[in-house]
Amino acid sequence: MFHRLSIFFLFISLMVLWGCGKENTGQDPELSGKVAFNFRHSINGEPLQQDELIYTNEAGNQYMVTEVQYFISDVTFYHQGGTKTRIEKWSDIFYIDEDIPSSKTILFFDPVPVGVYDSITFTFGIPESKNHSFMYVNPPEVYMAWPQVLGGGYHYMMINGKWKDIHGVVLPFDFHLGIGQLYMGITYHTDSIYAFVQNYFHVRLPGSGFTLERDEVKTINLQMNIESWFKTPFIYNHDQWGGAIMQNQEAMQMVKDNGFDVFTISGNGNTPSFF
């Protein structure tokens, strides 16, 4: 009898010690909610009007926008307690298209622990480790393919439109961002490429803190301020860069640098309208 009691108390002691030594994350996996992103595209604070030559950028170019298409990835929520939750279990790359309304609202299927969150970050584009050619075989993502000879993978962004040049001629522009190239000499021949440049970048959304309760669906409204691509910190001039920049790393570097303040948060709410 004494032997059995000794074993019993030893077992209890070990369980107590194990419990004390186990890390306390403070997060019950059953205590979670969901987060959704709702994207809006605007110019000068107003909803984008496509196919209308009604906008003027900081360089004085009169322009219109016909298409807005891009990828974001590695969405991460930073908990006030120091932990973070990355969206990656179901999907980690998301396509947004102004012409496909359903793509502009993304419900992340990954459960997000309840609590107070300080900020949200994501990668604009697709990081090098994930940007593989031919991983998409169906529209619309397949149309975002970046030429293999120019680095492969997929465009990070395509904003297409037209602008009126200094002679008053309306010309098309392809404001595209993807993998850049460095060329030997002054030509853009593909056989003179000696290195590739990864132009994706990280976005930390200002004012993106939120509180998530159990079983709640929190909607974060993200606004892309298209005019910001053309003005901060560098003034982008269509007359200088012309209609296509996907082989011009200097121009794409300017686009990348100007992307830091393109996204803002507006009017966050709860349950998205498609529920």
Domain that holds residue 260: 30-265
pLDDT at 31: 92
Tell me whether residue 271 is in a domain: no
pLDDT confidence bin for 81, thresholds 50/70/90: confident
In the chain, the DSSP E strands lie at: 32-43, 46-47, 55-56, 62-79, 84-86, 93-97, 105-107, 112-113, 115-124, 157-164, 170-177, 180-183, 193-197, 201-204, 210-212, 217-225, 263-265
Tell me whether residue 11 is in a domain: no
Tell me whether residue 179 is in a domain: yes
Contact 220, 105 (CB under 8 A): no
Tell me whether residue 15 is in a domain: no
Tell me whether residue 273 is in a domain: no
For residue 91, give both structure tokens: 């999907």
Q: pTM for the full model?
A: 0.86
Tell me whether residue 261 is in a domain: yes
- Express each pLDDT in 167-218 by its tens digit: 999 999 999 999 999 999 888 889 899 999 999 999 999 999 999 999 999 9
Tell me whether residue 204 is in a domain: yes
Q: How many domains does the chain have?
A: 1
State the CB neighbour count (10 A cutoff) for residue 134.
11
Tell me whether residue 121 is in a domain: yes
Question: What element of type H or E holds 223?
Answer: strand 217-225
